[in-house]
Structures are given as structure tokens and as C-alpha cells.
A and B are shown apart, each in its own frame.
Chain A
């Protein structure tokens, strides 16, 4: 299969703020990509560009379409959940299903009905009468019933309680994901998506600071807990991050062979959130 998204020299300026600064990346089909970055880093701007919701400079190819000029056709194969609360509050559940069925050629009603039958959502309820969790379940049921090649999720679980958050990603993985589909997800709750991602992209000040597959990540980055008396030796190997944990020093290394640091203690792959802090805060504080 060919590359799904190809971005070259993507830039976007809001007044004096460079939301995206000459960004290039590509996303292959069948991947689940986590786009991680602090607020205002350019995540949403990048997604808006991909979804044709904002203009930009540079080149961008999404499933062979230019999102600026061919958005209407592109959206037959792309779907997104921008936030937890974007379903129109005045609509009834039944109307939402009818509506998507009538406007989307790739929507399969039986699938939506199947997902909804596992929830307590009533068809005649107005969306404003549903709880936040139910609205998300409904939105997910609608989106999963669309056979789209690209699904973009921008903070899809923001403000939901933990049960719904867990269920959200479980359902997505078990009932939706397959080799032909690609998901891009942004979230603050990195721990939630960590296990399901195949690729990781860190974005900071409009630049991509890390773009790796999870397999590469395991080979490239390592983490070790070092006793204080050995800290100087570990520091000599050039860690990208150091902090104190329970009286010991935690070091994160980039591109240092695991055999060279095994002498300090048990070597792990750093968690995405630790790696995030390491990459963004820069080297040793």
C-alpha cells in the first residue's frame, strides 16, 4: 500500500505565532499514530490542515487528495472526532443515525445499530439529554460504522470518566481497527493510548521533535534507575534526561546500547510520558 499522508514543508502562521514551522512527515496505512505535544504546540493546527479545516503553506497529500481543494471528496474516506461534545445537542439519536446514513455513502447502519445495542442509549433521546459518556459512545458508534481509511481523533476522551475512557480505546481496537485503516490520535492522557500506538510523533513549538515507530522507540531509548554513587558514571554516557526517583537517579538515554548501561541496574523502555518530558525539557536539568 502507498503512503497515506505525506506532508512537506507544512507551515501555518497565526499573526506572529508560527503554529507549524516547516514540518514534514509521512504516515503509512495500518498505523495508529499518537500526535503528542503540549497545548499550543501545533497539534490541532496540524490536524486541521490534514482535515481541510484550515489553510496552510507547503505540500500536503491526504489519500491522494489536496485537503484544500478536494475536501468534499476526501471526506468520503476520512472521518474525525474533534472533541467530545460536537454532536448537535438538539438532534435526536435516531435523527443522527438517519442523517449520517443519508449523507455518507460508506456508512453501514447495521454496524451502528450493533454498537449502540451494547449501550443504554435510547433512540428517541435528544443528544443534550445524554451524559457526556453516552454522547461519546454514540459518536464512536457513528464513526465506527463508517468505513473510512483515515480516522482522526482529537482529544476524544477529554472530560470522560475512566470507565468510558478505557472502553473507548478497547472498542476502537477490537471492533474497528484493521490493516487498511489508519488512526491519528492526540491526547493529554498519554498513558491511555501508549499501549495501542504503533507510531509516536512529538510536536513542540510547531516542530516535530520526535517521529518514531514504537519498535524503533524500544531500540533507541532506554531508561535505568541508578544508585546515587554511580550517577556520575551514568551521566558520562550522555543521558537526555535525569531526575530523582525514591532516592535514586533515573536516566533516559537516546541511542546508547543497552549493554553499556545494564551494569547500573535493570534497563527499561521509558514510558511515553517520561520520554515526552525528556525530549521537551531537553537534556539534564
Chain B
């Protein structure tokens, strides 16, 4: 276990992208926000006008205000996920390739570390530690954003200016995010395993090894099916994502797409977004685990004797 933790730490030393990329993005957003306020102030916006809007929010009932805050915080967090998915993609592609390319694999192989430990530590980095690091950065960003908002409320003289500083709403948002990221990792598990297999296999260009085979399958199948827009692989990927959402949150499919709400009927304004854990015992997850196990076993097997990329 000590070795495993060390291996995960090692991954973190090597790949800081999981927190640097969202960190830079968050800093840019805050900078943009400051700039926006500065130009408002320069154009002589009346604090009274701002205050009028904010008073509407602070006068809401606590429950409603919290629900709104949570949705606001989650909306702030959503764009960061694009970066997380991107970083995870390239991390997984590099995971079992980079050290063969620079031959440092020979150093790691000179130590008593099993190939299973190596592969699993990289998987843990991609799907657990990496998302946790991103979540931590996003949480810091959200706190900064809330302080920023509080500053505006103070400046405009909003009554109840302190109401945005609501730890309950923040913890609520963070736990929702943590679950969302964990659910996302479960959904993407077989895909990450596939990327790691390509990473362990490639003597060069792991990106092509990872992307060309599935794209080729998509094209060939699409051609066989006369371009009716459906392919088994494409449907499987799309279904994984769209089926996972209603299993993880109080969302439902209806004729037009996903809807929020536990109960039947239209948009449930009071319900808000809630988590549910049906995903954990769904076939979707176990199917993914089974596929990933096979792919990762392949990666371990390749790792065994592929000592360098040449």
C-alpha cells in the first residue's frame, strides 16, 4: 500500500496538469470578472441599479436562495470539466508511454514495483486523484468568486451583503460535484483503460493507436450500414453518457431530452438538482468495469516486456 501511495504521488509530481490547467483557467476567469467590474465602474454605472437586482436575490427564502447558489456554483464549475476531460485524455495516453520514450522506465523497473501496481496507480491518478485535484482548484475558484460577489454587494450597498457567504450552499455544491466527477470516472473507465492500453502498446504515436482503430470501426460500420447515422460503437458511447445521467441525478428522459425532477411532469422548479446512486449498481458500471479489466490486463501484460519505446 505504501508503494502504491508513493506511485500515485510520483504521478502527481510528474503531471501537475490536473491542477495547473484549471488553475490558470480559473485565474483568467477571475481576472476577466475584475476587468468587467472595472469597466462598469469606469462607465459610471450607478450602484443603485446593481443593488436593485441583487436585492431581489437576497430577499429570497433561505432554501430557494441556497438552491440558486448551488446552481450558480455548479454552473461556474461546469466549464472546468472540459479541461479535466482533456487533461485526463492526454494523461492516459502518456501514462505508459512517456517513460518508455525517455527510457526512465528502466529506472522504475530497477525497483521492486510490480507492473500491476504501476498500471493501477496511473489509473487511480486519471480517475480519482486527478479529478479530486481539479475539484480542489474549482473549490478555491468558487470561494474567490463568492468573495468577489460579496465585494460587489458591499459596493452596491445591498442589504444582506453577507448572504452569499453561505458554507451550507458551498458544501452542498462540492458534494454534488464530487459525486458528478466520480460518476463521470465510472462512465469513462473503459475509455481510459483503452487509452492506457494504446499507451502501453505504442512504440510511437500513442494518439494514433488510440484514435484510429475506433474511428476506423465507426467509418467501416457506418459504410456497411449505408450511412444511416447509427453505429454500434457510436451508440454504445452515446448511451453510456446519456444513460448514466438519469442514474446519477434526478434527471429523466422524456420525448425531448433530459428533464430535472423526481416527479413526472414538466420542469420541477422547486426540486433542483439532486444526486442519486443508482449508477453504482447499474449494468452500465459493471459492464464498464469488465471491459476495463480486460483492457488493463492487456496493458499490464504489455508493460511486462516492453522496456523501451524503440
Q: Which residues of A contact B (CB under 8 A)?
A: 48, 51, 53-55, 71-73, 75-76, 79-83, 85-92, 95, 99-100, 102-105, 139, 143
Asked if B2 is at the interface (CB within 8 A of a chain A CB), the reply is yes
The answer to whether A86 touches B307, judged by C-beta atoms less than 8 angstroms apart, is no
For A91, the closest partner residue in chain B by CB is B13
For A101, the closest partner residue in chain B by CB is B6
A-B contact count (CB 8 A): 73
Partner of B10, one of A79, A87, A99, A139: A99
Please tell me the size bucket of the interface on B: 20 to 34
The answer to whether A55 touches B112, judged by C-beta atoms less than 8 angstroms apart, is no
Asked if B281 is at the interface (CB within 8 A of a chain A CB), the reply is no
The answer to whether A103 touches B3, judged by C-beta atoms less than 8 angstroms apart, is yes
List chain B residues, Cβ under 8 A from A82: 103, 106-107, 110
Partner of B13, one of A48, A71, A72, A90: A90
List chain B residues, Cβ under 8 A from A85: 103
Asked if B266 is at the interface (CB within 8 A of a chain A CB), the reply is no
List chain A residues, Cβ under 8 A from B2: 102
The answer to whether A95 touches B13, judged by C-beta atoms less than 8 angstroms apart, is yes
The answer to whether A53 touches B13, judged by C-beta atoms less than 8 angstroms apart, is no
List chain A residues, Cβ under 8 A from B14: 88, 90-91
The answer to whether A88 touches B113, judged by C-beta atoms less than 8 angstroms apart, is no
The answer to whether B13 touches A86, judged by C-beta atoms less than 8 angstroms apart, is no
Q: A80-B106, A89-B102 are in contact. List 19 more A-B contacts (CB 8 A).
A: A48-B307, A53-B109, A54-B305, A55-B305, A72-B114, A73-B112, A75-B109, A75-B113, A82-B103, A82-B110, A83-B103, A83-B106, A88-B102, A88-B104, A89-B104, A95-B10, A103-B112, A139-B107, A143-B110
Asked if B269 is at the interface (CB within 8 A of a chain A CB), the reply is no
Which chain B residues numbered 5 to 23 have a C-beta less than 8 Å away from chain A?
Answer: 5-7, 10, 13-14
For A154, the closest partner residue in chain B by CB is B106
Q: Give 5 nearest A-B pairs by CB, closest first.
A: A102-B6, A88-B104, A82-B106, A75-B112, A86-B106
Write the B237-272 contact mask toward A (1 if CB under 8 angstroms, else 0).
Answer: 000000000000000000000000000000000000
**A103 vs B110: C-alpha distance when bound (angstroms):** 11
**A270 vs B5: C-alpha distance when bound (angstroms):** 53
List chain B residues, Cβ under 8 A from A87: 104, 107
List chain B residues, Cβ under 8 A from A91: 13-14
The answer to whether A88 touches B305, judged by C-beta atoms less than 8 angstroms apart, is no
Would you give the shortest CB distance from B16 to chain A, in whole angstroms? 10
Would you give the shortest CB distance from B118 to chain A, in whole angstroms? 11
List chain A residues, Cβ under 8 A from B221: none
List chain B residues, Cβ under 8 A from A71: 114
Partner of A86, one of B7, B104, B112, B113: B104
List chain A residues, Cβ under 8 A from B106: 53, 80, 82-83, 86
Would you give the shortest CB distance from B236 to chain A, in whole angstroms? 35
The answer to whether B104 touches A104, judged by C-beta atoms less than 8 angstroms apart, is no
**A90 vs B16: C-alpha distance when bound (angstroms):** 11
Would you give the shortest CB distance from B282 to chain A, in whole angstroms? 35
List chain B residues, Cβ under 8 A from A55: 305
The answer to whether B13 touches A104, judged by C-beta atoms less than 8 angstroms apart, is no
Which chain B residues numbered 104 to 151 have a C-beta less than 8 Å away from chain A?
Answer: 104-114
**A139 vs B107: C-alpha distance when bound (angstroms):** 9
List chain A residues, Cβ under 8 A from B111: 75, 100, 103-104
**A75 vs B109: C-alpha distance when bound (angstroms):** 8
The answer to whether A53 touches B305, judged by C-beta atoms less than 8 angstroms apart, is yes
Would you give the shortest CB distance from B262 to chain A, in whole angstroms? 48
List chain B residues, Cβ under 8 A from A48: 307
**A4 vs B186: C-alpha distance when bound (angstroms):** 47
Asked if B99 is at the interface (CB within 8 A of a chain A CB), the reply is yes
The answer to whether B104 touches A75, judged by C-beta atoms less than 8 angstroms apart, is no
The answer to whether B307 touches A53, judged by C-beta atoms less than 8 angstroms apart, is yes
Would you give the shortest CB distance from A1 to chain B, in whole angstroms? 22
The answer to whether A99 touches B6, judged by C-beta atoms less than 8 angstroms apart, is yes
The answer to whether A102 touches B103, judged by C-beta atoms less than 8 angstroms apart, is no
List chain A residues, Cβ under 8 A from B10: 95, 99
List chain B residues, Cβ under 8 A from A100: 111
List chain B residues, Cβ under 8 A from A92: 13
**A55 vs B306: C-alpha distance when bound (angstroms):** 10
Would you give the shortest CB distance from B209 to chain A, in whole angstroms? 22
**A87 vs B109: C-alpha distance when bound (angstroms):** 11
**A103 vs B6: C-alpha distance when bound (angstroms):** 7
Would you give the shortest CB distance from A108 to chain B, in whole angstroms? 15
Known: A48-B307, A55-B305, A90-B13. A103 touches B113 (CB 8 A): yes
Would you give the shortest CB distance from B105 to chain A, in whole angstroms? 8
The answer to whether B110 touches A79, judged by C-beta atoms less than 8 angstroms apart, is yes
Which chain B residues numbered 263 to 310 have a C-beta less than 8 Å away from chain A?
Answer: 305, 307
The answer to whether B107 touches A88, judged by C-beta atoms less than 8 angstroms apart, is yes
Subset of 7 A-B contacts with CB under 8 Å:
A51-B109, A53-B307, A76-B112, A86-B110, A89-B102, A90-B13, A102-B6
